[in-house]
Amino acid sequence: MEEKNQSFTSFILLGLSEKPYLRMPLFSLFITVYVLCILGNVLILILISTQPQLHTPMYFLLGNLSFVDVFFTSITIPRLLYSLLSKDLSISFHGCFAQIFLFHMLGNMDSIVLAIMAIDRYAAICRPLHYTSIMSRRTCISLLTSSWIIVSLNGTLYTVMTSTLSYCSLVIHHYFCDIPVLLSLSCTDTSPQKMVLFTEGSLILVSPMLVILCSYVLIIRDILKLRSSKGRQRTFSTCSSHLTGVFLFYTSACFIYFRPKSLYSPDHDSVISVFYSLITPMLNPFIYSLRNKDIKQAVKKIIQCGRKEKEHGGSVVNTVAI
């Protein structure tokens, strides 16, 4: 088995469709969504970094979510676009396992950032007088730093776990290298790897879910104590965007990694993977900004500043001409 693995240097990624006439439509669709994803998240990062009114813990965490989403989508989608355009379906062993490391590291980081954002919402709504001390910048940085260490170790474990296997087939019915797919290609018994994947994966994916659930149970409890219906509606509306993002991310991710074996289907898995690895990161900037007054005001401020600079530049040119 070891010799068989050593005689090959790459896997074959079949992608989303083996039908040639679908390549260009799929390429057009994915490059459009990918560009929207990158532009939306980069815009959020620019707004948060340049506008002083957005220098708060909530927007600091949102900026980190956008940062993660930019790289999370860039791990798989450019490679998919290249294969659709060039018809080159091969990916090197090193490239495949690098994809596994980065994909799981950033995917898990996405879920942890969502959990920290839930804690932020809890502190803002349920502990407003202590909010600045609970969610200080030092606390946010400490939480994010420790999270990056955890997800890096998690990604390393997954990479080592899959790279040491022997493979009978090198054809991957997916558009990127993922652990469940690679385990299905192995010649050896993968029960220990599956047990590690389920146990450790449950811990790192379910723990943030429990944090989010507990935070919102406490938030809803406090919201229901408010006497004013308008106050309840206004308070809950501040959480609606975060809840939407959580729902989109976790429903698809949990189906991929915690579904019964009888529901396994390469085609369905590819479609669902597109949803949480591209569609959700693309939607996040819209989800968090469409109903957000601070983001809208920041955008208007940048537009107004641009207009003033343009008018000022025009007046300078006219003065010189006179």
The model's pLDDT over 252-305, given as tens digits with 9 standing for 90+, comes to: 777 766 666 555 565 566 777 888 888 889 989 888 887 778 888 888 887 877
SS3 labels along the chain: CHHHHHCCCEEEECCCCCCHHHHHHHHHHHHHHHHHHHHHHHHHHHHHHHCHHHCCHHHHHHHHHHHHHHHHHHCCHHHHHHHHHHCCCEEEHHHHHHHHHHHHHHHHHHHHHHHHHHHHHHHHHHCHHHHHHHCCHHHHHHHHHHHHHHHHHHHHHHHHHHHCCCECCCEECCCCCCHHHHHHHECCCCHHHHHHHHHHHHHHHHHHHHHHHHHHHHHHHHHHHCCCHHHHHHHHHHHHHHHHHHHHHHHHHHHHHHCCHHHCCHHHHHHHHHHHHHHHHHHHHHHHHCCCHHHHHHHHHHHHHHHHHHHHHHHHHHHHHC
Residues of the chain with pLDDT under 50: 1-6, 316-317, 319-322
Pairing label, strands 90-92, 10-13:
antiparallel
pLDDT at 67: 96
pTM of the model: 0.85
pLDDT of residue 167: 87
Residue pointed to by tokens 């599956």 = 194
Whether the CB-CB separation of 63 and 50 falls below 8 Å is answered with no
User: Helix axis angle, 293-321 relative to 23-50, nearest 10°?
Assistant: 80
How far apart are the two ends of the chain, measured CA to CA in Å?
A: 83
- How far, in Å, CA of 101 to CA of 222, rounded? 40
Amino acid at 182: L
Q: Does domain 2-291 have CATH number 1.20.1070.10?
A: yes
